[in-house]
Chains A and B, each alone.
Chain A
Amino acid sequence: MTRENAWDDHVGAALLGTGRRTPAPLPEAPEPDGDAAGRLLDQAAVLAVGRRAGLLPHVPDDVEVLAPAPPEELPVVPAAAAQRLDGLLQAPGADPSRAEWLETAARLGLRVPPALLPAVLDLGRDGAGRPLRPVIARVAGRRGVWLALQNPRWAYLLGYTGDAPEADDIWQTGTRDQRAAHLENLRGTDPAAAREALLEVWESEPAPARAAFLATFATGLSLADAAFLEDALTDRGKDVRQHAADLLAALPGTAYGARMAERARDCLRREDDRLVTGKPDAHDDALARDGVPFQPGGTFLPGRNVGTRAGWLREILSRTPLATWPDHLGLPPERLVTLPVTDAADGPVAARRGGRSGADAEDAVHDVHVSWAQAALRQRDARWARALLAHGEASQRPEIFGELVTVLPPADRDGAAAVLARRLTDPALLCRVLHRVPGPWSGELAATVTAALAALAERPGNDDRRSFPGLCHLVETRLDPALAADAADRFADLPAPAQESRRDALVAVLRTRHAMIKELIP
């Protein structure tokens, strides 16, 4: 009998009980001491120790050694920076410093050390971490891709790195998100091929998929897409139609743009040195087809009812090619944005601000300037953006004006944003604008904002005080870290009655960010 058979024999006897069955004697067992049960246990002990020492643990048959990871191309972050990231990853909650760390490392062309990859890749898995995916893909290095290929939990990474093993397979068999990511990548490199790929399956996809895929056309958008988008204006899916109209509104030089321009010319004219708006009287199917619903979204802005007709006006103006205006109104954009605006229905009251019917006049100027800003944003028109930032009436939709900054080349952003920031005396408005101005802030903008914050800290007014924490938060997260140490020193000495703790937190965050960036750029 082999040892393993002998063992099974003992287990069987022990289960039944030695009253009914006894195992065969084992020569190497110690002298019997007691009854049959004692003898079984003595023998089992000899066998059990032998089994523990000699039996190999169970190993599945199909074990495969991990294939070697490809060599890295990017340098790894310095050790101190890695330790910082480790701490940020361990800390509870979603610390915005995590995103800044990752973005800075990505900008510097550095990768995270392998030991931290699982935690970093987990960050992008769901919900709050999703927006971090592209930047995670840039800092994950070849090792990150190597891990994602082996662990389906991190498969999302492959859609961002171009390492998806069979891109065509993803388009054929992937989930909707994977396919949209694939299409978005393709739009970045070969928009026409992406359009062809989508056209092939267009009829057979369900409406939500068509909408998701069409949304990727914002990348690589050109006049070559116009015919396809024009067709999509009559799609069965409501979201598809809206996406198509919004994309066409960003694309001057199309039939869509010509139709909008024709409507727009009826809505806005110049009388000498002022502009006069005329709200459309009626809504029709053609207007709806071009993406202007009967109840446009902005008409229910909280606190200020723009009105249905004004809503149509804004939609039309914001979807009209900006090139329409210098021709139609006979002045360059820099002049147009300085002209007072009135509504035709109010008669010739030439008041841009204040005055008897000030509210209506303000509405008229908002109607026009907000729409132009929206159009400049859609059409990525830097000249109009600059003009509006310098003179546009931003108080009603400050977010749009803040975002206008992104239309400008990076080098011009700080200056243009500073011009807008200096025009805004209300700190609450300033916060709403700055919220949309991407960091890092430096130069003129940094100087303007820190001055505004310093003034706010010292000001006694109660209403203004409420903006202080908001502005602190923005400065904390957006200020160029190169300026953080100086700014921290400045704020540390600032008298901030009743706001000391917020001020101290601001100083602490700025110092930490400064240290964090210095670790990344030793």
Chain B
Amino acid sequence: MSDAGASFGSVSERWSSEHVRGLAPDAASAKAAATVAKPAKWSGLGCDGEAVWGECQGSGQRGYQACADLTEPAYRCSCPSRKFPCKHVLGLLLLWSAGTVPEGGRAPWAAEWLDRRRERTAAAPAKPKAADPKTAERREARVAAGLDDLDRWLCDQVAQGLAATESAPYRLWDDLARRLVDAQAGALAGQVRSLAALPRRPGWPDELLTEYALLRLLTRAARRPDLPTGLRATVRSRTGFTVPQEEVLASGERVRGRWHVLGTRSSEQEQLTVRRTWLASQEGRPALLLAFAAPGRAVEPAPPTGTALDAELAFYPGAAPLRAVVAEQHGVPVPALPPGGTVADARAAFAAALAAEPWLDAWPVVLTGVHLARSADNPCAQDATGTVPLRTADFWRLAAVSGGEPVTLTGEWTPQGLTVLACHHPTEGTVIV
């Protein structure tokens, strides 16, 4: 934690309760946190610019010591819960966000943990394990064979005709997916398996041909020895080769800047919880932080939506580099409005990104000064340059905050419309979807 330039402790820097609830690993934890967030249940509450701490009355004899490091952020609690952050930490943060936690000197146990954390963060990262070249070679060969298998399968499908697919059993894709797993091309296996749902939807022939064609594009690209470095990295990552984070930190492209947090979305993938946190720099460059967790475990915390942090990101290699890790963070996230553009700008940004990386299905955008609109139950956003359907179940919360005035929307631009992440109004504040 080098230069923490912001002025600590002022009310404006407190996270809103909405931010805090956004940290909950699941809805049940968020509810439980609300019941814990009562001052009467706590003793020794305190906070300073970098941390909040307190002891919560638990069911046992001794209270649970909960502490949140606001700079990373990072959380700790002495309770046995496997949820992370647990309800005590969330409750503590809710109290803090409501302004009921007084400023004060750190409790000794909190100070100890925070200091130990600082030391650990400052310590040099472990050296990457040298990979066995033989293992790597074997894997290359296996994946190449898997891609050939996939290519043959795709061509067979199209040669026979996709019409029969409408009533095909899931086995059709499952068998292929299993073979891809055996071929150590796991990333493709998941994608193939998810195709099984397509023929059950209206307009499926267009969708299915699109997906098959893009997979074919990938198998052909993978065979080409002459791809530019970035595109080569993209193709490798899409076929399941991962770049170790240490390597990214050591040699990835570094960008220091003011990174706005556009929003987060969690999804279940292959029995993993995946959380995507979309960022955009002050200059409009997007970035994606990915976090994974096993079922029942919480994903590591992300900076809250609607804030900006001064940080240096290290980007994974790619044709349209998007995925990144935070290499260095300077100070705490502070509330800020992300800079954005028009509907046409967003469309152009997505098109440009696709031109660089044709397999993209979503691209983070910020729409500034758009009006909310609707036709019956179809919500949209509109400005002078165009209209885009909104994919959100929370339209009325956005509408309430907008009051018919222009708002800033952040979201994932997809070919079907904008999946809304957050809505900002200059005076009414932020709604996180």
Interface residues of A (CB under 8 A from B): 7, 10-11, 14-20, 30, 33-38, 40-42, 44-45, 47-49, 51-69, 80, 83-84, 86-87, 90-92, 113-115, 117-118, 143, 146-147, 150-151, 504, 507-508, 511-512, 515
Contacts and interface: CB of A to CB of B under 8 A. Distances in A.
Contacts of B354: 49, 52-53
A64 B416 contact: no
Given A40-B158, A86-B18, A507-B40, A118 B397 contact: yes
Interface of B: 16-18, 21, 30-31, 34-35, 37-41, 94, 97-100, 151, 154-163, 205-206, 209-210, 212-214, 216-217, 220, 347, 350-351, 354-355, 358, 361, 371-376, 378, 380, 382, 386-389, 396-397, 399-405, 415-417, 428-429, 431
A123 B351 CA distance: 43
Contact of B162 (A14, A33, A114): A14
B400 A147 contact: yes
User: What is the interface of chain B mostly: helix, strand, loop, or mixed?
Assistant: helix
Given A37-B158, A115-B428, A143-B403, A44 B371 contact: no
Nearest to A49: B358
A49 B360 CA distance: 9
Contacts of A59: 378, 380, 387-389
A60 B378 contact: yes
A313 to B, nearest CB: 52
Contacts of A54: 351
Contact of A114 (B216, B386, B401): B401
Contacts of B372: 65-66
A120 B39 CA distance: 24
A41 B400 contact: no
22 contacts: A14-B161, A18-B159, A18-B161, A19-B161, A34-B155, A35-B159, A37-B156, A37-B158, A44-B213, A49-B214, A49-B217, A51-B210, A57-B416, A58-B389, A63-B375, A63-B382, A66-B402, A83-B16, A87-B17, A91-B34, A508-B38, A515-B39
Contacts of A67: 404
B98 A63 contact: no
Contacts of B380: 59, 63
A33 B212 CA distance: 16
A45 B358 CA distance: 9
Given A37-B156, A41-B213, A48-B213, A15 B37 contact: no
Given A19-B160, A91-B35, A38 B403 contact: no
A118 B400 contact: yes
Given A64-B374, A80-B98, A83-B97, A37 B387 contact: no
B399 A66 contact: yes
A34 B223 CA distance: 13
A465 B240 CA distance: 68
A421 B21 CA distance: 45
A515 B42 CA distance: 15
A87 B163 CA distance: 53
Contacts of B155: 34-35, 37-38, 41
B102 to A, nearest CB: 13
A87 B37 contact: yes
A18 B158 contact: yes
Nearest to B386: A56
* 7 nearest A-B pairs in the assembled complex, by CB-CB distance: A17-B161, A508-B40, A44-B213, A69-B403, A41-B216, A53-B351, A68-B404
A36 B155 CA distance: 8
Contact of A57 (B35, B216, B417): B417
Contacts of B405: 68-69
B220 A42 contact: yes
A67 B399 CA distance: 10
A517 to B, nearest CB: 14
A65 B402 CA distance: 11
A90 B24 CA distance: 13
A44 B417 CA distance: 22
Contacts, number: 199
A14 B209 contact: yes
Contacts of A16: 161, 163
A48 B158 contact: no
A110 to B, nearest CB: 16
Nearest to B414: A57
B403 A11 contact: no
A181 to B, nearest CB: 23
A115 B306 CA distance: 15
Given A57-B389, A512-B38, A151 B158 contact: no
B39 A65 contact: no
Chain A contact surface mostly = helix
Nearest to A120: B400
A42 B97 CA distance: 55
A43 to B, nearest CB: 8
A11 B206 contact: yes
Nearest to A10: B209
A10 B16 CA distance: 51
A63 B216 CA distance: 38
Contacts of A87: 17, 34, 37, 94, 98
Contacts of A91: 31, 34-35
B220 A33 contact: yes
A114 B403 contact: yes
A301 B248 CA distance: 80
A48 B37 contact: no
B391 to A, nearest CB: 10
A117 B431 CA distance: 12
A297 B13 CA distance: 62
Nearest to A488: B40
Given A45-B216, A48-B214, A57-B388, A86 B35 contact: no
Contacts of A114: 400-401, 403, 428
Contacts of B376: 60
A113 B18 CA distance: 14
A67 B371 CA distance: 9
A37 B405 CA distance: 52
A515 B100 contact: yes
A90 B20 CA distance: 13
Given A41-B212, A45-B358, A64-B375, A512 B40 contact: yes
Contact of B159 (A19, A58, A69): A19
A53 B350 contact: yes
Contacts of A40: 158
Identify the interface centre among B31, B399, B429: most chain A CB within 10 Å of its CB: B399
A472 to B, nearest CB: 14
A80 B382 CA distance: 33
A65 B159 contact: no
A60 B375 contact: yes
Given A33-B220, A52-B415, A83-B98, A45 B214 contact: yes
B210 A48 contact: yes
A472 B10 CA distance: 38
Nearest to A112: B400
Nearest to B371: A65
Interface centre among B37, B396, B416 (most CB of A within 10 A): B396
B139 to A, nearest CB: 24
A30 B401 contact: no
A69 B399 CA distance: 10
Given A80-B99, A91-B34, A151-B396, A41 B158 contact: yes
A389 to B, nearest CB: 36
A14 B166 CA distance: 13
A63 B373 contact: yes
A66 B390 CA distance: 14
Contacts of A37: 154-159
Nearest to B211: A48
A511 B417 CA distance: 48
Nearest to B208: A14
Contacts of B355: 53
Contacts of A143: 400, 403
B212 A44 contact: yes
Contact of B374 (A61, A63, A511): A63
A40 B361 CA distance: 22
Given A18-B161, A56-B347, A151-B396, 17 more contacts: A14-B162, A19-B161, A33-B220, A37-B157, A45-B217, A48-B210, A53-B350, A54-B351, A63-B373, A66-B374, A90-B21, A114-B401, A114-B403, A115-B400, A147-B400, A512-B40, A515-B39
